[in-house]
Amino acid sequence: MASSAPPPALTLPPSQFARLQPHAYLLAHLSPPASSNQPSLRANGRQPAQFRPTSANTGSLTHTNGSAVVRVGDTTAVCGVRAELLPTSDIASWSVSHASSGAHKRATTTKNDADADADESHIQDLNLLVPNLSLSTGCAPGFVPGAPPSALAQSLSHQILGLLHSTRLVRAEDLRVWYQVPSFGGDGDMDVDAEEDEGRKKKNDGKEIKAFWVLYIDIMIISLAGNAFDAAWAAVLAALRDTRLPRAWWDADNEMVVCSEAVAEATRLSLRGLPIASSFCVFEADAAAGWRAVIVPDAEEEKKIEEDQRRGMQRRWILADPDGYEEGLSQERVCLVVDREMGKTVIVKMEKNGGWAVDGRELKQLVDTAAERWESLKLILEQC
Amino acid sequence: MTDRRRINGPPSGTRPAVFASSLKSASGDATERPRRHRQPNELRKIFLKTGLIPSASGSAYLEYEPSASLAAARSSPQSLIPPSSALKLACTVHGPKPLPRSATFSPNLVLTTHVKYAPFAARQRKGHIRDASERDLGVHLETALRGVIVAERWPKSGLEITITILEAEDDRWWGDAPDSHDAPWGMMNVLAGCITAASAAIADARIDCLDLVAGGVAAIVSDDAVAEEGSSSTPKLMLDTDPAEHKSILSACVVAYMPARDEITEIWLKGDHSKASLGVDDSSLGHEALIDGAINAARGAHTVLVEAVLESAERYAGLSSSDS
């Protein structure tokens, strides 16, 4: 550890040393000399498995159906959910493909929520959830405002969209605006107009979908200091929990969907579960590990690594909730999205890329850490 | 043409929700216009905080106090339609940093300003790409700040000011017909907020300025509510107007004002002020009264600005002493 102790002639304040030798700086924090009797802490003073303090606030934006501000350390995400209507008459293929089949599904699925898979296809097919994340808010020096979204912003938007679809967080039933077709007494006067149409309506118990709510979920990262995904997802979750949709009905006279402005009649979304994301990064003691060709260690090396660990020499650290400084120093990322149902942890999404350091055993530990994070974030989201 | 870098909604587009009460209000009056509870020369409270965004060299967050009607609607929500809105914006300053190699030589600091509304900032959903009004705001902001910064201290460098508007002011009361007010009056309040916040963020980035520039708005309004009470139907000068609270705004003015030097760096006056006779005792011309009113509003904002900058300086002094 020669690099961690600069010669006394040239002394640097810690902040400058952190900029000049970021890797050595973080390594020196994580592996203090045994004589100093200091605990292994990160440069930001956290334990390796410690998340940053998180706070959330909902419902502060006026022009949204639901909004949230989530602060994870110095990363701040603002999410606003705006609901707009998509009349089925505007959907090009609606009358051909969905009108009859949708009703069939409804008849079967309302009885049994378990096989709601087909039920949710509306959300995905009709793009009813539109998440967009913006980084061009001056949140960090690298992002040019006014430019098209960077690769990171695009990838984060798509990750959020994918997660919204795969977790089936929003129920399609909440987004539908139904219309009870009035029955005009006898059949006699109706089958003159459109016999076929009438037949279809009968099949649907006289109910048809007139419109869908489309949720525009816009996330502005106001301040970026690493781990944007966790903060953005938490903001989306908090905003969706806060979202209230007005009661909407089909007004046959005006031939449009109208809404009631009364707050008492508005309904909240009933979300499925509470999937919470936790990200980790792996910091390697070997500074060159990032750019050297990746060679999977053979049995001998594996033994050596284990021996080192037994002697208390750690070669890699898994850091929870990395800040911007740590993200820049690590290649390997793990992102876990977990939910808990009746005391059981359910892995909703698991993503790991950029290296081979995290193996099955460590992943299991990470899932436990993520479950702990789930508990603490759940409290925060419920309090706001 | 669809935007391929963003996630687009349904290809056929969507429609904003239409409320049943707004359909009825064409015939009868459903809800009442929010009333101004402040004195004509009383400003809304401003919340201004610096240094909330650590990754930027300077930053500020500004929020206006919600009007009485909005505060009431927040505490006991009845209607999903908000009566008015209160400005909320975040400003970041990046720099001074070297200009890119491709840029031409500049002996001064090159200032660039970006103003962007969040998609959920206004009553109507905003697009992701900056529209003309946002670019216009950016240009106004740049002229307001260019006269304040001592630009020759940083040759060959650039300063980037980005403002994200999380919640904008209304241009008119939502119950009014869309054509009842011609001009987007809310933009003027937004500009005044942008100037004040940008000034705090520049000071937070410790960039040399001649003075702290503050923005202020004044408007000449003719209120029907006043006329009904029988006092007078003459147009009145009001400071820091919330456009939702007034039936018709005849003319409005924004200034960027430096109190210590008594200088105006930006003036934006809109509307017809020639016909407005401001009472019997006020002999001054319409536009002069309007500019004076805006300056008074800016003086008010300046007091808040000084507090925020002082806080920023104290934080910086505390930081630097703990570093060494």
Task: State residue B311's pLDDT score.
Answer: 93
**Confidence band, pLDDT 50/70/90 cuts, at residue A140:** confident
Which residues in chain B have Cβ-Cβ distances shorter than 8 Å to A136? 116, 162
Task: State residue A6's pLDDT score.
Answer: 54
Position A321, amino acid: D
In the structure encoding, which two tokens stand for residue A41, read together? 């802490």
In the structure encoding, which two tokens stand for residue A326, read together? 């740590």
In 3D, which of A6, A29, A33, A11 has the Cα closest to residue A313? A33
Task: State residue B180's pLDDT score.
Answer: 55
Residue from the list B19, B70, B80 with its beta carbon closest to the beta carbon of A258: B19
The neighbouring-strand residues paired with B75 are none
Cα(B97)–Cα(A137) distance, rounded to whole angstroms?
A: 18
Which residues in chain B have Cβ-Cβ distances shorter than 8 Å to A216? 9, 119-120, 125
Which residues in chain A have Cβ-Cβ distances shorter than 8 Å to B15? 84-87
Q: Worst-scoring range by mean pLDDT, A262-266, B72-76, B126-130, B316-320?
A: B316-320
Largest CA distance in chain B: 71
- C-alpha distances out from residue A87 to A198, A248, A266, B8, B185, Å: 20, 12, 19, 17, 33
Going along chain B from its start, the domains and CATH numbers come out as 40-77+84-314 (3.30.230.70)
In 3D, which of B146, B149, B263, B259 has the Cα closest to residue B206? B149
Cα(A173)–Cα(B143) distance, rounded to whole angstroms?
A: 51
3-state helix, strand and coil shares in percent for chain A, rounded to the nearest 5: 35, 25, 40
Cα(B87)–Cα(B128) distance, rounded to whole angstroms?
A: 19
Position A194, amino acid: A
Residue from the list B14, B77, B120 with its beta carbon closest to the beta carbon of A85: B14
Residue from the list A62, A138, A256 with its beta carbon closest to the beta carbon of B92: A138
Which residues in chain B have Cβ-Cβ distances shorter than 8 Å to A18? none
Residue from the list B79, B94, B121 with its beta carbon closest to the beta carbon of A141: B94
In the structure encoding, which two tokens stand for residue B271, read together? 């509307």
Task: State residue B175's pLDDT score.
Answer: 73
Position B85, amino acid: S
Q: Is the predicted pLDDT of residue B31 greater than 70, yes or no? A: no
Q: Is the predicted pLDDT of residue A61 greater than 60, yes or no? A: yes
Interacting residues of A202 by C-beta distance below 8 A, sequence separation 6+: none
Per-residue pLDDT of A13-22, as tens digits, reads 888 888 888 8
Distance separating the N- and C-terminal Cα atoms of chain A: 46
Looking at chain A, how many residues does it have?
Answer: 384
Residue B260, judged by CB atoms within 10 A of its CB (0-12, 13-18, 19+), counts as: exposed
Residue A214 and residue B9: Cβ atoms within 8 Å? yes
Query: Per-residue pLDDT averaged across A179-189, rounded?
Result: 67
Q: Are B236 and B40 in contact (CB under 8 A)?
A: yes
Most confident of A145-149, A156-160, A284-288, A357-361: A156-160
Mutate to test the interface with B, among A55, A165, A261 (most CBs of B within 10 A): A261
| Residue B219: CB atoms within 10 Å | 30
Q: Are A54 and A232 in contact (CB under 8 A)?
A: no
Per-residue pLDDT of B173-227, as tens digits, reads 877 766 555 678 899 999 999 999 999 999 999 999 999 999 999 998 876 654 4
Task: State residue B323's pLDDT score.
Answer: 45
More confident residue, A118 or A366: A366
Distance separating the N- and C-terminal Cα atoms of chain B: 56
Residue B14 and residue A84: Cβ atoms within 8 Å? yes
Taking the mean position of all CA atoms in its chain, how far away is CA A5?
41
In 3D, which of B215, B208, B211 has the Cα closest to residue B163? B215
Residue A223 and residue B53: Cβ atoms within 8 Å? yes
In the structure encoding, which two tokens stand for residue B103, read together? 């840029």
Per-residue pLDDT of B128-171, as tens digits, reads 888 899 999 999 999 999 999 999 999 999 999 999 999 998 88
More confident residue, B33 or A368: A368
In 3D, which of A380, A370, A376, A362 has the Cα closest to residue A336? A370
Report yes or no: B79 at the A interface, CB cutoff 8 Å. yes
The neighbouring-strand residues paired with A140 are none
- Report how many helices (DSSP H) and strands (DSSP E) chain A contains, helices first: 10, 14
Q: Is the peptide bond prior to B96 cis by the omega test (within 30 degrees of 0)? A: yes
- Locate the chain B residue with the closest alpha carbon to A135: B164
Residue A141 and residue B56: Cβ atoms within 8 Å? yes
CA-based nearest distance B255→chain A, Å: 25
Mutate to test the interface with A, among B3, B59, B75, B80 (most CBs of A within 10 A): B80
**Confidence band, pLDDT 50/70/90 cuts, at residue B172:** confident
Position B305, amino acid: L
Task: State residue B60's pLDDT score.
Answer: 96
Per-residue pLDDT of A110-124, as tens digits, reads 444 444 555 667 888
More confident residue, B48 or A289: B48
For chains A and B, what is the number of CB pairs under 8 angstroms?
Answer: 184
Which residues in chain B have Cβ-Cβ distances shorter than 8 Å to A80? 118-120
Report the predicted TM-score, pTM, of the whole model to 2 decimal places. 0.88
In the structure encoding, which two tokens stand for residue B146, read together? 């260019």
Residue from the list B12, B90, B114 with its beta carbon closest to the beta carbon of A90: B12
Which H or E run contains A354?
none
Q: Is the predicted pLDDT of residue A102 greater than 80, yes or no? A: no
Which residues in chain A have Cβ-Cβ distances shorter than 8 Å to B118? 78, 80, 134, 218, 220
Q: Is the predicted pLDDT of residue A197 greater than 60, yes or no? A: no
- Residue A297, SS3? coil
What is the sign, positive or negative, of the torsion defined by CA atoms of A70, A75, A80, A86?
negative
Report yes or no: B26 at the A interface, CB cutoff 8 Å. no
Cα(B91)–Cα(A153) distance, rounded to whole angstroms?
A: 20
Residue from the list A84, A138, A258 with its beta carbon closest to the beta carbon of B94: A138
More confident residue, B83 or B159: B159
Which residues in chain B have Cβ-Cβ distances shorter than 8 Å to A148? 5
Q: Is the predicted pLDDT of residue B246 greater than 90, yes or no? A: no
Which residues in chain A have Cβ-Cβ distances shorter than 8 Å to B27? none
Which residues in chain B have Cβ-Cβ distances shorter than 8 Å to A226? none
CA-based nearest distance B223→chain A, Å: 25
Per-residue pLDDT of A325-356, as tens digits, reads 999 888 889 999 999 988 899 999 999 988 77
In 3D, which of B81, B61, B58 has the Cα closest to residue B69? B81
Task: State residue A185's pLDDT score.
Answer: 59
